[in-house]
Structure 1
């Protein structure tokens, strides 16, 4: 059985306000199925995700990074698998960053930006470049990819255990017909798609080109596919429970299959 655990649903920064229902950690999820697991992005929720996998016996883990903006990589050096000598993190990253993802991440994990260089961590990082539109295997899971509409680029994924599928599509701004077609392909046949709804519909026009969506745009894309439900994510860090519940009610009124992603929920 395929399942997806949301370990962080905030975008740009961890939540700046207390949010008991939706959580404060930034983007991270874990997909499990077919005896395998994969972490999707390394926002501030990824340290807890890595710890949960370690408790399950996953000393070696696979991490797919949608892109390298700070809110998606901030927990990378705090993954517990990198703090032990037998730990290994296989990082899958678009080849647009170059042929060696580990070398790119080495630029992040060095002085003056971080006190411990990549070579100083006890665990190891293996880099695996992903071609645009490629399909890869992570243990028993199949991972299809497609580019997203985001400044500098980002990668969306569709994960399947052979029977069921989920899609994670962060960070994406709908509106580019060619890219949207690839996003809809990933959503097709999925039980749920996690989509970027950082903005309200009223905020979105003034933020065109920033690489994020709103719930109205997410619903328009979902209706072009047979996806059963969408989880709206990448919540603005200042949006508290009251505001998110209000936007969720509006989205559900527009389409009953839409709701806001909550930290620690399992789909």
Structure 2
């Protein structure tokens, strides 16, 4: 959900979208409602070529794609990567659905930009480009969600949004993905008190994120993917609680910049 109300502006009313600047290239994680505004900024900076890593294709992670100006401009390119997790559908099929005439006035075949759609299988390891090494892992979420571990220039960032932990259990595969990470972006949609009533919804808590980060030896954790029911005041309180538990935790904010 995208919230434009004044009490949602500090920690962000946009859905999932993160920009990474790595070795002079632009990598984007998910295509939520923040993507159009990011696209405008990239155009001002003269960025024509971007990589888009999709965690999954639920609407809160795709709603910004149709309004990303790069796809409508010749000599601009978007390199899309996503797990093949939807039966016989390819990544291009999923993007075409996003741009179908029932949902949008401009269809895939009419786009003047260059779109490269490449699928992989969760668990695959690959170099997105020379110098950026990526490991992938399937998280527990309806229809699945890909966790990305990105390694470049001696730094490690892990993107682990939309994952549901088993109460009383440990996702050892996720701990391995998070091992010694400089920054983990983690799903903190609910509280431990709320989670039992949300089983099967595919989300986690800041408490579990902190626990996993400690097990993995991660250095910092950005709380992410807040419930749309949480305004800035609520998130600020949750951030305070998380920091009291572990100094490495902090709440991701709209427009926040972090240098690793």
| Superposition TM-score, scaled by structure 2 size | 0.92
**Kept after mapping to 1: 8 A contact 2:161/2:185:** yes
Give 1:175's match in structure 2, choosing from 166, 176, 185.
Answer: 166
CA distance in 2, matches of 1:256, 1:167: 18
**Kept after mapping to 1: 8 A contact 2:140/2:164:** yes
Note the residue ranges of structure 2 that are not aligned, 5 or more in a row.
Answer: none
Shift of residue 100, structure 1, vs aligned partner: 2.9
CA distance in 2, matches of 1:66, 1:207: 21
Shift of residue 99, structure 1, vs aligned partner: 6.4
Shift of residue 104, structure 1, vs aligned partner: 2.0
CA distance in 2, matches of 1:177, 1:112: 44
1:41 corresponds to: 30
Q: Secondary structure at the match of 2:80?
A: strand
Change over 3 Å in CA distance of 1:93–1:125 after alignment to 2: same
Shift of residue 218, structure 1, vs aligned partner: 1.2
2:49 corresponds to: 60
Shift of residue 138, structure 1, vs aligned partner: 2.2
Note the residue ranges of structure 1 that are not aligned, 5 or more in a row.
Answer: 1-12
CA distance in 1, matches of 2:167, 2:39: 34
Change over 3 Å in CA distance of 1:104–1:20 after alignment to 2: closer
Q: Count how many residue pairs are aligned between Structure 1 and Structure 2.
A: 255
CA distance in 1, matches of 2:118, 2:171: 26
Shift of residue 176, structure 1, vs aligned partner: 8.4
CA distance in 2, matches of 1:34, 1:169: 22
Shift of residue 240, structure 1, vs aligned partner: 1.1
Q: Please tell me whether residue 17 in structure 1 is matched to residue 5 in structure 2.
A: yes
- Between stretches 126-135 and 17-26, larger displacement belongs to 17-26
| Superposition TM-score, scaled by structure 1 size | 0.89
Q: Secondary structure at the match of 1:137?
A: strand
2:104 corresponds to: 114
Give 1:222's match in structure 2, choosing from 206, 210, 213.
Answer: 213
Which contiguous aligned blocks of 4+ residues in structure 1 show a shift greater than 4 angstroms? 176-179
CA distance in 2, matches of 1:137, 1:197: 28
Give 1:195's match in structure 2, choosing from 186, 189, 193.
Answer: 186
Q: Please tell me whether residue 130 in structure 1 is matched to residue 120 in structure 2.
A: yes
CA distance in 1, matches of 2:19, 2:161: 14
Shift of residue 162, structure 1, vs aligned partner: 3.1
Q: Secondary structure at the match of 2:81?
A: strand
2:93 corresponds to: 103
- Between stretches 87-96 and 38-47, larger displacement belongs to 87-96
RMSD value, Cα? 1.9
CA distance in 1, matches of 2:151, 2:174: 15
**Kept after mapping to 2: 8 A contact 1:149/1:179:** no
1:258 corresponds to: 249
2:40 corresponds to: 51
Higher relative CO (Cα under 8 Å, sequence separation at least 6) belongs to: 1
